[in-house]
Each structure stands twice: as C-alpha cells, then as structure tokens.
C-alpha cells in the first residue's frame, strides 16, 4: 500500500518536472528555438490550432526562425497570432514565408527572463510539495485505519521525503541551467 502511494507520488512529481521543462522552453533565450512558438494558437477556419499544426517552423540561423504556412491564406492569421502572443517578436513577411528575427537580449530583459524562470521553478517546487503533502496524508490515513503500523508510516513518510528532495534538487538543477543559458552573451 505504501509502495503504491510512493509510486503514484513519484509519477506525479515527474510530471511536475516535465511541466517545468515545457514552461522553460517558452522562456526565450537569445537563440532561435522553434519551441518558443509552442503556445501560439492560430485561428484556422474558426478553430484555435497550434502554429506547428498549420505551418513548418525552421531555424534559419542562430537568431531567426522561418515559418512556412501550408496554406498561403494563413499568413495574416499567423502574423496576428504571433503579435498577440506575449513573446515580444515582430514577424516580417515576404510572399508566403514569415521570418521571425530574435532580438538580442539586453541585460534588463535577461534579468526579467531569469525572474520568470525562477517563478516557474517555484511553481514546480510548490507542486512537488503539494504532492508530498497528499501522499503523507494518505499514509497517515492508512495508519489511522490500522492498515499499517506506525513504523511503516514513518518509513513511508521518509521515502516520500527522499523523493521530494530528489525532485526539488532536479528542479534546482534545471533552473541553474536555464539561468546559465540566459546569461550567455
């Protein structure tokens, strides 16, 4: 029973870390990366659709992306969606290709992106701690119902704490890597 709770907590904690990795992809660095456009939704015949589902996104060089829509009629909708997104990118169009130059990061924007990354990391930590709280509550309930002994309860809570420490350390490592990435000139 305790092992089931531990396994469930571990699965949920790893999903929290994966969510953090996805959130970090949206925090822009100075380099061109198609992942920053993952959250951009284009109006495709009245249906909000991910940009990657209606166009080809190519890294042209270190500082620019090229977007080739599958239908030429989508060019204005894609431009509008990119402008509406909170990414601070200005698309330029020539024919049926949209170019997205990545502006160079100033010291101030780097610090703002680091703040954003730290906030995302803190959300991840809070999520992991909430999972720990839920797992410990389940273990305490088992002990109250006399399904496990108090020694098993303490052992289970120790295992959950070790899991929590492991995932918090992983989040800290991801944040340190992202900060280093953002501070590279």
Tell me the per-residue pLDDT of 76-119, one tens digit each, with 9 for 90 and over: 888 888 888 877 788 888 888 888 888 777 788 788 888 888 99
Q: What is the pLDDT of residue 3?
A: 86
Which among 73, 101, 129 is the end of a domain?
Answer: 101
Poorest-pLDDT segment among 10-19, 45-54, 133-142, 168-177: 45-54
Give the mean pLDDT of 57-64. 84
Average of per-residue pLDDT across 139-167: 90
| pLDDT for the residue 130 | 94
Long-range contacts of 133-141 (CB under 8 A, 24+ apart): 134/9, 135/5, 135/6, 135/8, 135/9, 135/160, 136/160, 138/5, 139/2, 139/5
Lowest mean pLDDT segment, chosen from 147-151, 156-160, 169-173 = 147-151
- Considering only the C-alpha atoms of the chain, give the largest distance between any 2 of them, rounded to a whole number of Å: 72
Same-domain pairing of 59 and 95? yes
Using alpha carbons, select from 105, 79, 104 the residue that is nearest to residue 92.
79
pTM: 0.71
Give the pLDDT band (50/70/90) at residue 49: confident
Q: Please report, in angstroms and rounded to a whole number, the separation of the first and last CA atoms in the chain.
A: 51
Residues 32 and 62: their CA atoms lie apart, in Å, by 5
Predicted pLDDT at 11: 93
Tally the domains of the chain.
2
132, 9 Cβ separation under 8 angstroms: yes
**Domain termination site, one of 56, 82, 101:** 101
Where do the DSSP E strands lie in 78-127? 92-94, 97-101
Confidence label for 65 from pLDDT (cuts 50, 70 and 90) = confident
Spatial separation of the C-alpha atoms in residues 129 and 122, rounded to whole Å: 10
pLDDT for 28 equals: 66
83 and 113 housed in the same domain: no
Q: Say yes or no: 68 and 132 in one domain.
A: no
Nearest CA to 82 out of 54, 106, 109, 108 is that of 54
User: What integer pLDDT is reported at residue 94 of this predicted model?
Assistant: 84
Q: What angle do CA 33, 38, 41 make, to 5 degrees?
A: 135
Q: Do 40 and 84 sit in the same domain of this protein?
A: yes
pLDDT digits (tens, 9 = 90+) for 13-25: 999 999 998 888 7
pLDDT at 148: 86
- Other C-beta atoms closer than 10 Å to the C-beta of 75 total 19
* Pair (57, 91) in one structural domain: yes
- Same domain for 14 and 72? no
Give me the CATH number covering residue 153: 1.10.132.20
Domain with 118, as residue range(s), is 2-26+106-183
From 101, 117, 137, the end of a domain falls on 101
Using pLDDT thresholds of 50, 70 and 90, give the confidence band for residue 185. low
């Amino acid at each position: 029973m305790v092992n089931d709770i531990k396994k469930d907590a571990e699965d949920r904690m790893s999903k929290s870390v994966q969510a953090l990795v996805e959130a970090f992809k949206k925090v822009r660095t100075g380099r061109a990366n198609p992942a920053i456009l993952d959250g951009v939704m284009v109006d495709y015949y009245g249906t909000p659709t991910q940009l990657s589902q209606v166009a080809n996104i190519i890294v042209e060089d270190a500082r620019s992306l090229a977007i080739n829509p599958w239908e030429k009629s989508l060019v204005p909708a894609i431009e509008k969606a990119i402008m509406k997104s909170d990414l601070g990118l200005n698309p330029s169009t020539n024919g049926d290709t949209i170019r997205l130059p990545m502006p160079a990061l100033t010291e101030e924007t780097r610090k703002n992106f680091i703040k954003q990354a730290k906030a995302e990391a803190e959300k991840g930590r809070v999520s992991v701690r909430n999972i720990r709280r839920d797992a410990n509550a389940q273990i305490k309930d088992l002990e109250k119902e006399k399904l496990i002994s108090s020694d098993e309860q303490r052992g289970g809570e120790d295992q959950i704490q070790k899991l929590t420490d492991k995932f918090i350390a992983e989040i800290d490592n991801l944040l340190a890597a992202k900060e280093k990435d953002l501070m590279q000139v």
